[in-house]
């Protein structure tokens, strides 16, 4: 099969391309290297450098027909979306619209999109299934929700469209140099580089952490969908507090790591976690890593990675 996977210079896109290439498929990526790097793009993947929100960059695909488009490129932080909401709309939503238009024009029959748990906002009780009301708290989440609706409409043109609402994705390969994106990677990088973790917000906040390999599995299973629009939570169904994340990292280090808690950032959700019954029943997906096992693998990787760089 021939796939377009946007954002393969980044964490999730690279992991997907890696798996697709291993399975013998052909992959092209578009990445503007805003947070990703060329080194991260798996070898064997054709690379077009540019902004996927720019129609001229899409034109460089020259009408090539893909079996599926997997759209992972975008900026992935609610906090950052407050810096420049217009850019956020372009990079996360205009890009989706352009790719859907390209899919329709070229006869591509499947599109998979990286949506987000942030579309839900805060809820009491905090467990969300796909029907839970979406009350976005950040410009980022508004854009993700708009993208979902573009997918829903384009599915009426014969494209099987799947929106995957990723919860907090973590694991080896996450960017340890970007301290504004990814809770697990931010705390881990701080512990390794500074022996000090600065937490912006309450230790009682919680998230649903889903391991990278399980996320890749969800993407591959959604490629099997043949028609219509659907949306799935990609989550473990288990809440993990910020304090648990911090203490898991601290106890894994063989030196003291201090912790400081300060005020939260704009648009931060206090805590939600996902109900994953639908993705289990419809796609046959199950998470294979719990937080303890996944985090240990990530810590081992991060320590080895940092040692290799110094």
Ligand X SMILES: NC(=O)c1ccc[n+]([C@@H]2O[C@H](COP(=O)([O-])OP(=O)(O)OC[C@H]3O[C@@H](n4cnc5c(N)ncnc54)[C@H](O)[C@@H]3O)[C@@H](O)[C@H]2O)c1
Site of interaction with ligand X (CB under 6 A):
7, 9-13, 30-36, 51-53, 72-76, 91, 95, 114, 116, 166, 168-169, 175, 182
What are the phi and psi torsion angles at 26 (to 5°)?
-105, 140
Question: To the nearest whole angstrom, how small is the minimum distance from the Cβ of residue 32 to ligand X?
Answer: 4
The smaller minimum CB distance to ligand X, of residues 77 and 248, is found at 77
126-129 LR contacts (CB < 8 Å, sep 24+):
126/206, 126/239, 126/271, 126/272, 126/273, 127/237, 127/272, 127/273, 127/274, 127/275, 128/233, 128/272, 128/273, 128/274, 128/275, 129/233, 129/274, 129/275, 129/277, 129/278
Question: To the nearest whole angstrom, how small is the minimum distance from the Cβ of residue 11 to ligand X?
Answer: 4
The H or E element that residue 263 is part of is none
The smaller minimum CB distance to ligand X, of residues 51 and 214, is found at 51
The smaller minimum CB distance to ligand X, of residues 91 and 155, is found at 91
The smaller minimum CB distance to ligand X, of residues 53 and 257, is found at 53
User: 197 and 260 in contact (C-beta within 8 Å)?
Assistant: yes
- Plot region of 228 (φ>0 → left; ψ -120 to 50 → alpha; else → beta): left
Determine if the peptide bond prior to 145 is cis (ω within 30°): no
The smaller minimum CB distance to ligand X, of residues 137 and 260, is found at 137
């Amino acid at each position: 099969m021939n796939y377009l996977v946007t954002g393969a210079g980044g964490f999730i896109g690279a992991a997907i391309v890696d798996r697709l290439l291993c399975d013998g498929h052909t992959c092209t990526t578009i990445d503007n290297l805003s947070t990703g790097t060329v080194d991260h793009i798996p070898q064997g993947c054709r690379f077009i450098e540019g902004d996927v929100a720019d129609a001229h960059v899409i034109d460089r695909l020259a009408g090539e027909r893909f079996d599926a488009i997997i759209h992972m490129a975008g900026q992935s932080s609610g906090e950052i979306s407050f810096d420049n909401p217009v850019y956020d709309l372009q990079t996360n939503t205009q890009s989706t619209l352009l790719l859907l238009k390209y899919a329709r024009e070229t006869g591509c029959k499947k599109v998979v999109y990286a949506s987000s748990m942030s579309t839900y906002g805060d809820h009491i009780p905090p467990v969300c299934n796909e029907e839970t009301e979406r009350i976005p708290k950040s410009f980022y989440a508004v854009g993700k929700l708009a993208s979902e609706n573009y997918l829903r409409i384009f599915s009426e043109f014969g494209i099987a469209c799947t929106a995957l609402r990723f919860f907090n994705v973590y694991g080896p390969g996450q960017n340890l140099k970007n301290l504004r994106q990814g809770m697990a990677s931010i705390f881990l990088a701080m512990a390794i580089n500074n022996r000090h973790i600065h937490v912006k917000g309450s230790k009682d906040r919680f998230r649903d952490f889903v391991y990278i390999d399980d996320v890749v599995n969800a993407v591959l299973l959604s490629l099997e969908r043949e028609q219509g629009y659907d949306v799935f939570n990609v989550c473990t169904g288990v809440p993990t507090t910020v304090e648990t994340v911090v203490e898991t990292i601290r106890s894994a280090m063989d030196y003291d790591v201090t912790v400081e808690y300060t005020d939260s950032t704009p648009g931060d959700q206090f805590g939600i976690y996902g109900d994953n019954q639908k993705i289990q029943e419809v796609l046959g997906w199950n998470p294979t890593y719990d937080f303890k096992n996944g985090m240990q693998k990530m810590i081992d990787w991060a320590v080895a990675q940092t040692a290799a760089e110094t």
